[in-house]
């Protein structure tokens, strides 16, 4: 009887020891996987992109459910304008976690860059249904931009207005509302929104100067030259800056 009890104790000890060893091995594997992700994120922050990609790919190979690694890969490839790969990685992150709001926002933004307006609309509409999404103003502005490019100007204007309601200092939404108002034939309201965007962002936002300059030029209102000059000053090397100089040359 004693020998049987001793044997059972030894077997139990062996099973417990094996279980503990297996658990330690799994924990070590998870720690190493997370280390690869942290290295990838660190390389990304220091702009060492090939090394970042290498570490992130190692991460997802070791853990196919690592949503953050897939998201960061998507973000990197979006920056590289490899939109197909970016879409694949963002979609994978959302397949793992449908509540990954940042990934959904970035997928929607990717679709805007690809001019896939209807796909973008779907993503931003989903974000607006999420009560815990912290930046609804961005989703409204982006959804408004998708609607604007689908030529649904009234719907676009409503989303831009909602973005401004949620964040009154959002220069981009004021500029975009000006564009929607212009398409709807509300010239005075359009100019007012561009001037508000300029007031809110006086030193780093050229686009509303361009639109305000054009509006004043078309109506013979004083001030067009100053807007085009400021636009060119703020973005001298961009296509927008060159267009402002072209309008200046025609005045």
Q: Say what the pTM is.
A: 0.86
Tell me the two tokens of residue 133: 């999404």
The Cα 76–Cα 18 span in angstroms is 42
Per-residue pLDDT tens digits for 152-168: 999 999 999 999 999 99
CA distances to 79, 173, 189 from 106, rounded to whole Å, are 11, 18, 31
Q: Is 6 helix (H, G, I), strand (E, B) or coil?
A: helix
Residue 5 pLDDT: 57
The DSSP element (H or E) to which 114 belongs, if any, is none
CB atoms within 10 A of CB 116: 18
| pLDDT grade for 112, boundaries at 50, 70 and 90 | very high
Is pLDDT of 246 > 80? yes
Binned at pLDDT 50, 70 and 90, residue 4 comes out as low
Q: For residues 177 and 170, give the distance between their C-alpha atoms in angstroms, rounded to a whole number.
A: 11
Residue of 123, 122, 158, 126 whose CA lies nearest to 141: 158
Structural domain spans, the chain = 206-251
Half-sphere exposure for 187 (CA within 13 Å, toward CB): 8
Distance, in Å, from the CA atom of 229 to the CA atom of 100, rounded to the nearest integer, reads: 43
Lowest mean pLDDT across 1-15, 25-39, 179-193, 197-211: 1-15
The mean pLDDT of 85-109, rounded to a whole number, is 97
Mean pLDDT score of the chain: 92
Q: What angle do CA 113, 151, 200 make, to 5 degrees?
A: 65
User: Is the pLDDT at 114 greater than 80, yes or no?
Assistant: yes
pLDDT of residue 17: 58
Rounded to whole angstroms, how far apart are CA atoms 248 and 145?
28
Selection from 250, 200, 242, 207 nearest residue 227 by Cα:
207
């Amino acid at each position: 009887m004693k020998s049987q009890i001793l044997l059972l104790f030894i077997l139990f000890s062996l099973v417990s020891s094996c279980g503990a060893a297996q658990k330690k091995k799994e924990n070590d594997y998870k720690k190493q996987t997370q280390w690869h992700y942290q290295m990838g994120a660190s390389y990304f922050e220091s702009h060492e992109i090939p090394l970042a990609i290498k570490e992130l790919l190692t991460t997802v190979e070791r853990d196919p459910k690592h949503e953050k690694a897939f998201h960061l890969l998507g973000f990197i490839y979006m920056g590289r304008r490899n939109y197909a790969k970016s879409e694949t990685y963002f979609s994978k992150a959302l397949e793992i976690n449908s509540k990954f709001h940042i990934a959904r926002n970035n997928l929607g933004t990717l679709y805007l860059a690809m001019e896939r307006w209807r796909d973008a609309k779907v993503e931003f509409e989903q974000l607006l249904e999420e009560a815990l999404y912290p930046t609804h103003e961005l989703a409204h502005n982006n959804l408004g931009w998708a609607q604007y490019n689908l030529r649904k100007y009234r719907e676009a204007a409503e989303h831009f207005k909602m973005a401004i309601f949620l964040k009154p200092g959002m220069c981009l939404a004021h500029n975009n509302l000006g564009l929607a108002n212009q398409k709807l034939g509300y010239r005075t309201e359009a100019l007012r929104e561009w001037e508000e965007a300029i007031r809110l962002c006086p030193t780093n936002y050229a686009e509303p100067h361009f639109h305000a300059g054009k509006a004043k030029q078309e109506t013979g209102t004083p001030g067009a030259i100053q807007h085009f000059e400021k636009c060119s000053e703020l973005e001298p090397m961009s296509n927008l800056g060159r267009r402002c100089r072209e309008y200046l040359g025609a005045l």
